Amino acid sequence: MLQRLDFFGECSLSGLFHLILAVNRCRRLIALSHGVSAENMSPALGHVEGSVLQLIEEQPKTIGWLADNVGIEQSWMSRSVTGMVKRKLVSARRTVSDARAKEVSLAPKGEKALADSRDVISKITSDLVKPVLSAIEARDLERFFSRLNDTLGVATSKSRTGLPALHVEFNRLARALGVFGGDVLGSGLSFLETHILHLVSLDQGSEVPFFQIERSLAHGQSTVSRALLRLLEKGLLENTQDRTDERASLWSFTAAGRQKWVDLAERGETFLHRGLGEFGAEEQSKFDLLLARLIADRPIRKSSSTNASRVILRRTADSAAGAVDFELVHDADACGKARIETGPSGKVRKVIIEGEGLNEKQLTSVVRSIFRTQRALRKQK
């Protein structure tokens, strides 16, 4: 559930860095309902591709210039342009003045993709803002972000984006935080890795199931798995197996990971509060309130790509002799219960499932999980 995050008590804002992370997560979930994942600009364009098309809309630019203005290495930009040429979004040719440099220009297919992406982003921004903010409040929030970015010295876009102003200003701040460069505030962590640490921190020492991390981040299962493994290799997270579901893993901080998150959160707060110097106390309070309202509980359409059908089994503490009881959980809400009754040898004698609104796929998954769990319990004995 999306909720207001109050981390810093009497500070001028209720954890500005945390609020911005939460707003971005909310924006991801809304984007996913439009078929757009991660920071992509449309189902057909990633962030780098969309940024390139914006920057070359009025006139061609060199790969080096594009790399500098998107904020990525030139080799990365070169690979991205090569892929865009293959997809016929852009054309690239050697410049007259320097045979080593390539100039990138917009192709007709790229023009259409750019127009389509603007339409998608406008819908995403509208879905984020309109249910919770009035037009005047949305404009106030955009001005707050603009002033914050200007005070922090964040560069403005050098292209005519044609995108909602709030989206543009939020992306300016995201770029300053290192979201698109894969190094948030010099921590050596990608934005996805930062989001994972943020989610683990919300559980205050508890182990967080993989499915909860995956659902909250609106990324694919393989993408989240790779990010978790990187954090495991860095010694920031540790994982254990869920005793009630041998397929499921539980994730928690190591001592080093907890300290890494504390340091990163403090660095984020220091960086962002540096930009609040010209904001009065009343303005800061209003900025805090508007951000918090963006992440208030709201119905969000689910994309068909999400793992919405999965039902998780949680073993309950109290069970009668010769029985094992489970709670069925779907989207973090209880949706039924199950019981295994066993004979003296430990073999399953009866399975009882009571659930509300379970479809055939979910019911099959529950039955399989029950038998896997029972096998695991027999091995422990």
Q: Give residue-wise pLDDT tens across range 160-196.
A: 567 788 888 888 888 788 776 668 888 888 888 888 8
Question: Range(s) for CATH 1.10.10.10 in the chain?
Answer: 16-28+133-294, 47-119
Between the CA of residue 215 and those of 116, 210, 306, what are the distances in Å? 27, 9, 7
Both tokens of residue 373?
């769990």
Q: Give 139's pLDDT tier (boundaries 50, 70, 90).
A: very high
The answer to whether 325 and 370 are in contact (CB under 8 A) is no
Both tokens of residue 277?
């110097």
The number of beta carbons lying within 10 Å of the beta carbon of residue 191 is 21
| pLDDT higher than 80, residue 70 | no
Beta bridge partners of 66: none
Both tokens of residue 182?
């894969």
Is the domain 47-119 a CATH 1.10.10.10 member?
yes
Q: Is 360 left (phi over 0), alpha (psi -120 to 50) or beta?
A: alpha
Distance of CA 14 to the CA centre of its chain: 20
Per-residue pLDDT tens over the stretch 227-256: 899 999 999 999 887 766 656 788 899 999
Backbone phi, then psi, for 185, in 5-degree steps? 50, 40
| pLDDT higher than 90, residue 260 | yes
Quick one: pLDDT at residue 297?
58
Per-residue pLDDT tens over the stretch 104-136: 999 998 888 888 888 888 888 888 888 888 999
How does strand 237-241 pair with strand 249-253? antiparallel
As a whole number of angstroms, the distance between CA 179 and CA 173 comes to 9
Answering whether pTM is above 0.75, one says no
**Overall CATH class of domain 16-28+133-294:** mainly alpha
What is the SS3 assignment for 309-348?
CCCEEEECCCCCCCEEEEEEEECCEEEEEEEEEECCCCCE
Crossing angle, helix 281-294 and helix 16-33, to 10 degrees? 30
* Mean pLDDT, residues 30-39: 65
CA-angle at 154, arms to 152 and 160, nearest 5°: 145
